[in-house]
Amino acid sequence: MKTLMTTVLLTSTILAGHVTASSHCKKINWAPGKIYTIYAQFNGWTHIELPDNVLTSQKGPLMLLGNETLWEKIGGANHLYVQPNSKEPEGETTTLHVITQQGLSFNFNLRRTYQRHTPCYTIINKGDNLNNVTAALNNYIHPAAYQAQQQMTFWKAKYEEASAQQKQKVDDAVKAALRRYRHFIYTRYQWDSNSGFIGKDIVSDIYDDGRFTYIRLHNDNKGILAIEATVADKPEIIQAKYDDVTNLYRIVGIYPAFRLKYDDIEIAIERRDGITKGAF
């Protein structure tokens, strides 16, 4: 339940941030069978707004992401959010397929970028009013409505089948990644254990696997830790995900040194050899 609430709150927070910038979204006209290229900035969410709500099943929204290991997605209603979480060559591009409640299909080619790019895209149904489309559907004779329902059932079944196949591919990829990166595990981090309550009683251990840095806490995080590192000789806040089940922060990338900040308390953390021999 905690994880579900965290996801809902994250989606709401991202949505609130994009609403204020909706006037800057790039508009794209929808056409059947068209593949749209979306540039997603590394280490940041890109917002895609659809003209209709995403179709859902018992497993959630019908959103099929090609590479769920090196890309991430969340969504609800007619809003999708995607981001790449790695600099690996295999994660440079992937696909995303979505089916909406009106039976429209959307196919995206997601491409990773490191440059500042369009933070959001708005897909328009070629100027058609969806209310008119809905009214037309309601006026169909019963056989046509039945056929539409059969097609919807067919596509849901195809989605479930594709999801199962994709899950197997992801499981295999994860096992291969574990074998590949096992020798990258690095635990020789040091930090000031005399940094008061935070440093002594919350931080348990810190390690990296050559791709991500992990900060484990002794107990549930009672507040929000800000994580800051020096990038290009400038201090920069690093995005991190917190898992309240394992009490673990995950940071994309590895850094020779960074700092944890909590109110007025700061904890300096260093990699003992100061050299990042990871995947980046």
* Tens digits of residue pLDDT in 11-42: 444 444 444 444 578 998 988 888 999 999 88
Question: What is the three-class DSSP state of 16?
Answer: helix
Domain 189-271 fold? Immunoglobulin-like (2.60.40)
CB under 8 Å to 37, separation ≥6 — which residues? 108, 109, 111
Distances (CA, A) of 216 to 85, 208, 240: 20, 11, 12
User: What is the structure's pLDDT at 123?
Assistant: 92
User: What is the structure's pLDDT at 277?
Assistant: 52
* 69 bridge partner residues: none
Domain 26-128 fold? Immunoglobulin-like (2.60.40)
Q: Which comes out higher in pLDDT, residue 51 or 166?
A: 51
Q: Which token pair is 155?
A: 């596509």
Q: Which comes out higher in pLDDT, residue 276 or 249?
A: 249
The whole-model pTM stands at 0.46
Task: Report which listed range, 13-17, 22-26, 152-156, 225-229, is most confident.
Answer: 225-229
Q: Which of 78-87, 156-165, 259-268, 269-278 is predicted least confidently? A: 269-278
Every domain of the chain and the residues it spans:
26-128, 129-183, 189-271
User: With 50 as the cut, is the pLDDT of residue 135 above it?
Assistant: no
User: With 50 as the cut, is the pLDDT of residue 10 above it?
Assistant: no
User: What is the structure's pLDDT at 60?
Assistant: 74
d(CA 159, CA 83): 22
Other beta carbons less than 10 A from residue 212's beta carbon: 20
User: What is the structure's pLDDT at 134?
Assistant: 52
Rg, C-alpha atoms of the chain:
22
174: left (phi over 0), alpha (psi -120 to 50) or beta: alpha
CA atoms within 13 A on the CB side of 12: 6
CB under 8 Å to 26, separation ≥6 — which residues? 118, 120, 121, 122
Same CATH fold, 189-271 and 26-128?
Answer: yes
Distances (CA, A) of 213 to 38, 119, 183, 226, 256: 28, 26, 15, 14, 11
